[in-house]
Structure 1
């Protein structure tokens, strides 16, 4: 076990303000607005993405979304 911390009433010394280093909530928000779309996929495709998601500890819907987003970006560059 680690040693217990000993507290005392000694003065701490001078303080200095540290600027915030975390991004604002707006900067943390998703880049693109998402739209829910009902879609029918083959059972084989869904099983594939679920297995890939399990291996990478992700949601299979997120993998499909990223795949589609990447496809769109490549098509835009053409």
Structure 2
């Protein structure tokens, strides 16, 4: 039995695809002035960023920082 291909841009049930504005993990590395803060993250999130950081030879904290900066920049424009 062959499985028919589905269009990834079509809604799935009541869900609809939204435009992705976040950069891929390898683009989350740029230097900038920083302010130290303490934040609690889920283990799975930290594990993901540590794996991606090791894969791209950078620090996971820097990737998280860039992700938050990108999110902030996106919503400051709107």
1:47 partnered with 2:47: yes
Assess, with a 3 A threshold, how the Cα gap between structure 1 residues 32 and 59 changes in structure 2: closer, same or farther.
closer
Q: Deviations over 1:11-52 (max 9, x none)?
A: xxxxxxxxxxxxxxxxxxx97531111111111000000000
5 Å-filtered alignment, 1:3-22, equals none
Structure with more relative contact order (C-alpha pairs < 8 Å, separation 6 or more) = 2
Quickly say closer, same or farther: Cα 1:31–1:56, change in 2 above 3 A. closer
Counterpart of 1:38 in structure 2 is 38
TM-score, normalised with respect to structure 2: 0.58
Structure 2, unpaired ranges of 5+: 1-29
Quote the Cα distance in structure 1 between the aligned partners of 2:61 and 2:32. Answer: 16
Runs of at least 4 residues of structure 1 off by over 2 A? 30-33
Kindly report the root-mean-square deviation, in angstroms, between the aligned alpha carbons of the 2 structures: 1.8
Q: TM-score, normalised by structure 1?
A: 0.58
Cα 1:31/1:47, change in 2 over 3 Å: closer
Shift of 1:62: 0.1
